[in-house]
Structure 1
Amino acid sequence: MTELRAVQGSLTAVQIEDISKAVRAARSKNTQRAYASAWRHWASWCEHYGFPALPAAAGTVAAYLTERAKEGRSVSTLDTARAAIRAAHRDSAHLDPTTNPGVELVLKGLKRQQGSAPRMQAHPLSTDELRRIIDCIDRESLRGKRDTALILLGFAGALRRSELANLSVRDLAFRTDGVVLTLSRSKGDQEGKGVVVGILRGKVKLSDPLFALRDWITASGIQDEDPLFQRIAWSDRRVTRQMLTGESVNQILKERSSAAGFDDLRISGHSLRAGHATTAAEKGVPSDRLARTTRHKNLATLARYVRPAEVLRDSSSGSLGL
């Protein structure tokens, strides 16, 4: 960005805007929104106390993070705030105050005070729980066929709700023993290189992702270029050609789970992905093999699901004769 500022005088307004768009595209839309929200709060706080928000002093950042922690904000919120301040300074070619050793030390201390262990936000669905949900769906209806395929595919592929919503029919390559999904864009693939996920044919017809997919595609009449999962008209007789959103996926799973009697569990769209990871770990699937399916680049994140299963397998309490 420093070099860009140096040559801005020789660039046209269109060229500068194109470069700015490319810089913005380097971060996902979700990240952009999170940073924008965090920056607004930071800028407002600085204005209230009379501190410059950009460029900011390391001491100002440390004071801000400390005050946010005293308000009861989570470690994740503090990390997002720090990342937003860092990004704004680097994008503007200013010295990054968040790398100051003092800020690092303060943040480390705040995390120790609060505890930085991640909280399980979504209940990880087990295979039995998933089958119970599927059993309660009317699979003769068009909406039932869609929801069954969506839920089974999300669980079998450890898919994020955004990945499910963004799938097109052309992203599926059916094989004799399974189906290969091509994810053109996902959280772990921000550059859009594309990743593939293999899903094997199920052993039981009623919980077979392949059967459910074919059943849905045939009944809906959707074509290669169409979104795989679409909104359905109130008549339940036709699709609308409008793709679902990540929030729609979330709502569908919540409603289907409630109908199966799981109101007491914290179930959301993430329950499918978390359920895959947890169940596979409990079955003894090695972490490296599991990571290839879940596309976790950070094994520390995957360990949230793997470690509980390993702890139970390795525990000596079973030898106590209780």
Structure 2
Amino acid sequence: MASEDEKSRSSHSDALQDAQVDERDQVKSDTIALPSHVAGSGTLDRLVENARDYAKASTAENTNKAYAADWKHFARWCRLKGTDPLPPSPEMIGLYLTDLAAPTGPSPALSVSTIDRRLSGLAWNYAQRGFSLDRKDRHIATVLAGIKRKHARPPVQKEAILPEDILAMVATLPFDLRGLRDRAILLIGYAGGLRRSEIVSMDVGKDDTPDSGGWIEILDDGAVLTLNAKTGWREVEIGRGSTDQTCPVHALEQWLHFAKIDFGPVFVRTSRDGKNALEARLSDKHVARLIKTTVLKSGIRAELPEKERLALFSGHSLRAGLASSAEVDERYVQKQLGHASAEMTRRYQRRRDRFRVNLTQAAGL
């Protein structure tokens, strides 16, 4: 049996090899460079750097992180199997997908959607390295089709936050600076049907910061948010509510006024005592934590154990809440959420008027 010292050396060796693989992958991933026959210059070098920045910005930051993690996992898997991830081998990728769906080790099996996302991550990473991965190759396509046929399940949807829920949640917040900020986050996120990344990426004005994901314009009748979202630029109109206590625009105005914010990120961190607004933009993780915390405090679904209650709600609960609660033509909800199809919008509707059109009776039965 190996001694603790031997195990430690083995673990350190594995970590070192992983780091070396990551470093090689990083070098290989910097694919945008000057042709070998072109001499470098200050201007051309700056253009190369700018081109790399644009290439990185072609996908969302969270997507980049996920794809990087996908490649790291696959590269380590290849090393453990005694092979190399480059060039792409459809046969090995088929085996990799099989191991994700029915792992031979202690790792849990992944869902079909996660496996599909991993494959997309590998295809993207290969493209950045100058290779083409044919997802229709029989070694990949047939294995993936079999995994979907055997393991596919209906998607697990997060619970929608309904009107009575959001009111109960904001009622748990204090009226200090931090409470004003969190109240505006919940109400704006709910009324706008926003993703959590969209909430925290907004600036007060256009082009206030390099990492801006959009800006706001407050008018007499409401607020217009111009957002650079997953599906491109879109405008979101948020009208004023019936009372100041529930009005998202009023909550936003209160936060900006008392936090003295007129430039830069809309939602920022506060000092430890909650009395001063800082310059640092909030992380989208704050939105998820805020939702879970206020759900617990407000007693929503109190009949369930705390762990189950927390698992029911996430940032998507705000978008699902708007889609499920707005009693208007579906087209308006689709536009607000920024969906390309009505079918996608219906996936967010947790309580819609089912059987409004009874085709059975319409067919004469």
The residue type equivalent to 1:240 in the other structure is L
CA RMSD, Structure 1 to Structure 2 (Å): 2.8
Tell me the residue number matched to 2:340.
297
1:22 aligns with 2:26: no
Q: CA deviation at 1:162?
A: 1.4
1:276 aligns with 2:322: yes
Greater relative contact order, per chain length (Cα 8 Å cut-off, separation 6+): 1
C-alpha separation between the residues in 1 aligned to 2:32 and 2:269? 45
Structure 1 or 2: more helix by fraction? 1
State whether structure 2 residue 178 is matched by structure 1 residue 134.
no
**2 CA distance for matches of 1:52 and 1:242?**
41
User: Which residue does 1:10 correspond to in 2?
Assistant: 38
After superposition, residues 178-189 of structure 1 pair within 5 angstroms as: 178-183=222-227, 185-189=228-232
User: Cα gap change, 1:113/1:135 in structure 2, threshold over 3 Å: closer, same or farther?
Assistant: same
Q: How does 1:27-106 map to 2 (within 5 A)?
A: 27-71=59-103, 72-106=109-143
In structure 2, how many angstroms separate the alpha carbons of the residues matched to 1:73 and 1:298? 28
Q: How many residues align?
A: 305
SS at match of 1:59: helix
Give the aligned residue type for 2:195.
R
1:133–1:256 CA contact under 8 A, matched in 2: yes
Q: Distance in 2 between matches of 1:187 and 1:270?
A: 14
Deviation per CA, 1:171-202, whole angstroms, max 9, x where unpaired? 2222222111122x32332xxxx421100111
Which of residues 236, 241, 246 in structure 2 aligns to 1:197? 236
Distance 1:308 1:147, change over 3 A: closer
Mapped pair 1:226 → 2:264: yes
Unaligned segments of structure 2, at least 5 residues: 1-28, 104-108, 206-214, 301-305, 361-365
For residue 98 of structure 1, give the secondary structure of its aligned residue in structure 2: coil
- 1:315 Cα deviation (Å)? 6.8
Asked if 1:309 is matched to 2:352, the reply is yes
Partner secondary structure for residue 306 of structure 1: coil
Q: Distance in 2 between matches of 1:4 and 1:273?
A: 38
Partner of 2:251: 212
CA contact (8 A) 2:195 2:315 kept: yes
Look up the equivalent residue of 2:114 and give its one-letter code: T
Matched, 1:267 2:267: no
> Does residue 198 of structure 2 align to residue 159 of structure 1?
no
Q: How big is the shift at 1:301?
A: 3.6
TM-score scaled by length of structure 2: 0.75
**What one-letter code is carried by the residue in structure 2 that aligns with 1:174?**
I
Q: State the shift of 1:63 in Å.
A: 1.5
- What is the distance in 2 between the residues matched to 1:25 and 1:230? 23
| DSSP 3-state at the match of 1:206 | coil
- Which amino acid letter does the alignment assign opposite residue 231 of structure 1? R
| Matches of 1:182 and 1:107, distance apart in 2 | 39
The 2-side partners of 1:73 and 1:57 are apart by: 21
Q: Quote the sequence identity (%).
A: 28
